[in-house]
Structure formats: structure tokens, C-alpha cells
Amino acid sequence: MARSDVHPVHRFEPWQVWPGSYRNPPADGRYPFPPDSGLRLTIQTPIASMGSCFAREIRTALLQRGYNYITEESHHPAAVHASAAWERTYNTFSMRQIFEYTFEDWRPNLRWWQTPESGRIQDPYRRIILYDSLEEAENDFQRHRACSRRALARAEVLILTLGLVEVWEDRFDGAVICLPSGPYVNEGGDMQRYRFRVSRYPENLENLERIHAIMARHNPACRLLVTVSPVHLWATFRSDADVISASCNSKSTLRAAADEFVARHENVFYFPAFEMATIYQPLMSRTWFSEGKENFHVNKKVVRFIMENFFRFYTAG
């Protein structure tokens, strides 16, 4: 048991006190966590995941260890980040739209971009997926919807990695594009119909609740494991905040939304990947940033640390 030096004296479990505080043991490389996570995985548990860049690290680790990670559309380059060709989904709006087009009839006012110079078809809602014709795009998207349904309907555990709160929103119908990127933007495509804004706590929580409601109808036995990506923003579109402040706001907003989301539902759990990287590593006098041009990412040692604790928390061995 850990103890406090304040009056009255309280007795705490080791995971309830700050490592190294007063006479308590310092951080020792085993992230403090309650003994019962409430979620147990086996090698056979069908697991799906989607989310920001860090979701790819989770996918890779699960596949390397031989877990029953769901892979659909393995031929598709957009499937290297998740269980289907969802590509990277940085915000909860893009995530919600995946569930809506998978199980419902989500139809944005403008479904496709046509690049001004090359004439290719680009999907605004999945990051830089390109086609040679509209027919090819429509056919592939219908196949993708079927694969997405199979992945989400089969999952017994779905991992959602939350990334940021900055969004580009269609002024006409509120649909959120993934990012203003790719050949459509580079070739001078019209972006006037989209407005940039910073989404806030209530709407991010609402998106998570919408995802939960859809899954409750179509796969009620699935448990959701939510985490906040420890990968910071490379850049911000905000003109009223620097990139470090904007990144901190993104992570703080999403962490608060995740906490409330978990508190509302018995089948939703939180995995502290963000805390392991950004707080626990510095407590052990370790850097968690990558070196080189992508120094906003987490380094490989920290990824391994996070995933080792993932398996320690949720698996039997």
C-alpha cells in the first residue's frame, strides 16, 4: 500500500499515487494500473481498430503477436492503418461517418472530388484515395462498405484511437473531410465550400455516443477500447494558437470526452497510451519523441513500452 504525508493519513493502492511522491516508489517501468482492467483478451478474440497514426502501431503489434486481428481489404493500401480501408481517421467526425456509411445511408452533398488537372477521382472522406474514373470509385466504395460491415460486425473488441479536434466541414451539409490534401487540393481544387474550425468537447462526446449507438444496434456484444493518440500535431491550421498549444488542446479535449464516454457505458474502456508516452516516460527521464523530421511522433522504444503494457493489462500472458 502507498501512503500520504497529509492529515488525516490515507492508505492508497500503488496505482492511486504519483510515482516517486513523498516516500512512494518511483516509476519503475511498469505503468501503474488497477489490477482488474475489466477487459480481457485472448489470442482468439476478434479485434478491430481504427483511428489516427498510432492505430497503425496497435494493428502491427497485434498482428506480430498472432492475435486474431481482423483484416479486410488487405490488398488495399488504405487498409495498412486499420481493419479495413478506412485510412487514417484523425477526428471523431470522420470516425462517426464511417459507422454511418457502413450501417446506414450516409450520403454527403458532394461525394467525390475530381482533380482539376489530372481528372482523377479523389475520396474527400478517406485520406488521398484515388481512382481513374467515377465508376471505379463507386464500385470500389460499395465493396469497401461490405468489407467495413464485416469487420465491425465481427469484432468482439473495437479499438478507437482519437487524434485531434481540428476539422474541415462542408458548409452545406456539415460533412467533414479527412484533410485538405492530395492532388485535388494541390491542383487548385475549389475549397471554398469547406470551413475550418476547432471542434469542442460536447460534439466530440456526441460523436462517440453516436458510434456507440450504431454498434449497439448492429453488434451489441462488441466492447469498445478508447485511447488518445500520443502523436502530436505536426501543424495546426489555427491562426489563434501555436502548434504546441493547439496539440495540447486537441489531446485534452479528447481525453476529457473519452473519460465521460467510458463513465457512461459498461462496455467501454480506456487505455492510457497518451499518458504512458507523455507523462510516464519523462518520469523515468526518458524521451518519447522520435528523432528526425517526424519528431512529433513517438519513438519505437515507447511504442514497444505502450504495447507491452497493453498486453499486460488486457491479456493473460
Residues contacting residue 285 through CB under 8 Å, at least 6 positions apart = none
Identify whether 180 is part of a domain: no
Give the Cα separation of 86 and 166 in Å (integer): 19
Query: Tell me, what's the pLDDT at 4?
Result: 65
Q: Over the stretch 44-58, which tens digit does the pLDDT of each residue have?
A: 999 999 998 888 889
Identify whether 250 is part of a domain: yes
User: Where residue 1 falls among pLDDT bands split at 50, 70, 90?
Assistant: low
Select from 163, 147, 155 the least CA-distant residue to 98.
147
2 has which bridge partners?
Answer: 12
- Residue 21 clears pLDDT 80, i.e. is over it: yes
- Residue 8 clears pLDDT 70, i.e. is over it: no
Residue 143 in grid coordinates:
465493396
Q: Which domain holds residue 50?
A: 38-105+150-164+201-314
Identify whether 73 is part of a domain: yes
Q: Over the stretch 57-89, which tens digit does the pLDDT of each residue have?
A: 899 999 999 999 999 999 998 899 999 999 999
Average pLDDT over residues 104-119: 96
The three-state DSSP-derived secondary structure of the chain is CEECCCCCCCEECHHHCCCCCCCCCCCCCCCCCCCCCCCCECCCCCEEEEECHHHHHHHHHHHHCCCCECCCCCCCHHHHHCCCCCCCCCCHHHHHHHHHHHHCCCCCCCCCEECCCCCCEEECCCCCEEECCHHHHHHHHHHHHHHHHHHHHHCCEEEEEECCCEEEEECCCCCEECCCCCHHHHCCCCCCCEEEEECCHHHHHHHHHHHHHHHHHHCCCCEEEEEECCCCCCCCCCCCCCHHHHHHHHHHHHHHHHHHHHHHCCCEEECCHHHHHHHHHHHCCCCCECCHHHCCCECHHHHHHHHHHHHHHHECC
Query: Tell me, what's the pLDDT at 2?
Result: 67
Q: Is the dihedral of CA 297, 298, 301, 307 positive or negative?
A: negative
Identify whether 124 is part of a domain: no
Q: Over the stretch 167-201, which tens digit does the pLDDT of each residue have?
A: 999 999 999 998 899 999 999 999 999 999 999 99
1-10, 17-26, 165-174, 291-300: segment of lowest average pLDDT: 1-10
Identify whether 32 is part of a domain: no
Identify whether 128 is part of a domain: no
- CATH number (domain holding residue 64): 3.40.50.1110
Q: What is the pTM (predicted TM-score) of this model?
A: 0.94
Identify whether 192 is part of a domain: no
Residue 207 in grid coordinates:
460523436
Q: Residues in the chain, how many?
A: 317
Average pLDDT over residues 248-275: 98
Query: Tell me, what's the pLDDT at 22?
Result: 86
User: Where residue 256 falls among pLDDT bands split at 50, 70, 90?
Assistant: very high
**How many domains does the chain fold into?**
1
Residues contacting residue 178 through CB under 8 Å, at least 6 positions apart = 87, 88, 89, 90, 94, 124, 125, 126, 127
Q: Over the stretch 125-154, which tens digit does the pLDDT of each residue have?
A: 998 899 999 999 999 999 999 999 999 999
Cβ–Cβ under 8 Å, residues 214 and 99: yes
Identify whether 172 is part of a domain: no
User: Where residue 10 falls among pLDDT bands split at 50, 70, 90?
Assistant: confident
Q: Is the dihedral of CA 298, 300, 152, 168 positive or negative?
A: positive
Residue 309 in grid coordinates:
503494457
Query: Tell me, what's the pLDDT at 11?
Result: 81
Give the Cα separation of 53 and 81 in Å (integer): 7
Alpha-carbon radius of gyration of the chain: 21
Average pLDDT over residues 238-255: 97
Q: Over the stretch 193-225, which tens digit does the pLDDT of each residue have?
A: 999 999 999 999 999 999 999 999 999 999 999
> Mean pLDDT score of the chain, rounded to an integer?
94
Give the Cα separation of 207 and 244 in Å (integer): 25
Q: Dihedral, CA atoms, 209, 267, 80, 72, nearest 10 degrees?
A: -100
